[in-house]
Structure 1
Amino acid sequence: GAMRSRTEVDATLQTAKLNPAELLPVVHCLSFGSQAGAGECCLLQLEPGLCAELEAGRSLVIRGEKHEQAVLCSKDKTYDMKIADTSNMLLFIPGCKTPEQLNAHQASCNIIHSQIVGFSNNYWELRRCRPKLKKLRKLLMEDPYEGPDSQKDQTFSKYTTEDLLNLIQASEEEILHQLQVLDACKIEGYWRILEFDYEMKLLNHVTQLIDSESWSLSKVPLRTCLEELGSLEPR
């Protein structure tokens, strides 16, 4: 429809029994754009820390497979996502100015015509949650590493860091920390857990070397140890 004039605005205020003197002189006149519709955009309510992440150019990632409840991850935290309904319709208005941004001393005839490009009756709420890490151990235990000579049939997948980021519902830092907790090793670019007997075999080599060299258990020279054992177990 036609854009409202100042006279029409003042008449509307009078009908609504509002005193113009108590309001800012600038008026927003809203109209729906031709493409305005529900469901085109999603609203996400962010805490200040996450806003700062985005403003700094970092990404937030939604993770989860089809059968899983989606979570949102920053670089180091994980959040549950939940839809919150609102009784007030939320309007998307590009370039909309808040009262704080408007100059109270602007000319009284100032009318801003704004176009609504979308609307929604709900938004996504985030709640900090524990990272979902049980799956990480399960995936790595499908095919424990039995050593370089293992001719085991490769029926199971091996996982790179990128693979795990796509499969595990946790932030990158939380996943990498859990890999440390699990004593996982990166072998030829893939994260592996050492098979128990193989791990004991390695430990036996190390303890025998420590004994033969009379090293202190608290001061084992890593480089020398790796060089000495290199012929037995390639790095």
Structure 2
Amino acid sequence: MPGTRAARRTREEVDATLQVAKLDAAELLPTAHCLAFGLGAHGGAGDVCLLELEPALCQQLEAGRSLVIRGDKEEQAVLCSKDKTYDLKVADTSNMLLFIPGCKTPDQLKMEESPCNIVHTELRRCRPRLKKLKKLLMGNTYEGPDSPKEKDSKCSKYTTEDLLDQIQASEEEIMTQLEVLKACVIRGYWRILEFDYEMKLLNHITQLVDSESWSFSKVPLNICLQELGPLEP
């Protein structure tokens, strides 16, 4: 409470609290950190989230990099760094109530006092959730520039930013999976070639290689693009 000095506890009181909390004193960290929030610092909802990070993620934040939380309303949120994905798990703990002198539960607060709900969240490394990536791209495969779908504005197309917003994975994991899916950027959008169209392109390439007597292991890319450009712009 403002203007009230926190009460000091004796060693016996601390030991008794540890026993109630079923904690071993030898396993406790030697340093305690006191967090103070000014009036209105925790926003209108009155919620504070304590997020436990591994040292590598702390170093990334200290270096000025960002961590991103991804997930639609019906999905469980994940936290992503540049190259890894983590599950966000709410850690069940009552230790904050046991160790904060004079701490009140929401039921004990007066009506005029603004409650502050503290949630302790920890991270667990998880596999990137990439099934949705293939589902999105397969919903509108590329059949060539003259396909009616290319003129239909209702057909969904996705930029890199769109995929980062919708896929629960880090940027590096998404880019790696796009390579696995053999997706390519066409007019700024990630697309997967429709099978028949891909076979059509492959047929053009094999005919050109055969006519020029090239080795399949040494096909000159620039010449190939120049020759096939008029056929498939």
Structure 1 Cα separation of the partners of residues 176 and 206 of structure 2: 27
Runs of 5+ consecutive residues of structure 2 not aligned to the other structure: 15-32, 101-114
CA shift digits 1:70-108 (9 cap, x unpaired): 00000110001110021211799xxxxxxxxxxxxxxxx
Displaced runs of 4+ in structure 1, greater than 6 A? Answer: 14-17, 28-32
Structure 1 Cα separation of the partners of residues 170 and 65 of structure 2: 13
Residue in 2 aligned with 1:25? none
Structure 1 residues 161 and 41: alpha-carbon distance in aligned structure 2, compared to 1, 3 A threshold: same
Structure 1 residues 42 and 207: alpha-carbon distance in aligned structure 2, compared to 1, 3 A threshold: same
Partner of residue 146 from structure 1, selected from 140, 143, 148: 143
Correspondence 1:77-226 to 2 at 5 A: 77-89=84-96, 122-152=119-149, 153-226=152-225
The residue type paired with residue 151 of structure 1 is P
The alignment's TM-score, normalised by the length of structure 1, stands at 0.73
Structure 1 Cα separation of the partners of residues 34 and 123 of structure 2: 33
Measured after TM superposition, the shift of residue 3 of structure 1 is 5.8
Structure 1 Cα separation of the partners of residues 56 and 185 of structure 2: 32
8 Å Cα contact 1:89-1:119 kept in structure 2: no
Residue in 2 aligned with 1:47? 54
Q: Which has the higher helix share?
A: 2
Structure 1 residues 230 and 45: alpha-carbon distance in aligned structure 2, compared to 1, 3 A threshold: same
Structure 1 residues 35 and 149: alpha-carbon distance in aligned structure 2, compared to 1, 3 A threshold: closer
Residue in 2 aligned with 1:70? 77
Q: Which has the higher strand share?
A: 1
Measured after TM superposition, the shift of residue 155 of structure 1 is 2.8
8 Å Cα contact 1:87-1:121 kept in structure 2: no
The alignment's TM-score, normalised by the length of structure 2, stands at 0.74
Q: Report sequence identity in percent.
A: 70
Please provide the CA RMSD for this pair: 3.4
Provide the aligned length of Structure 1 versus Structure 2. Answer: 197
Higher relative contact order (CA 8 A, sep 6+): 1
| SS in structure 2 at match of 1:50 | helix
Measured after TM superposition, the shift of residue 41 of structure 1 is 1.6
Structure 2 Cα separation of the partners of residues 228 and 32 of structure 1: 68
Measured after TM superposition, the shift of residue 40 of structure 1 is 2.7
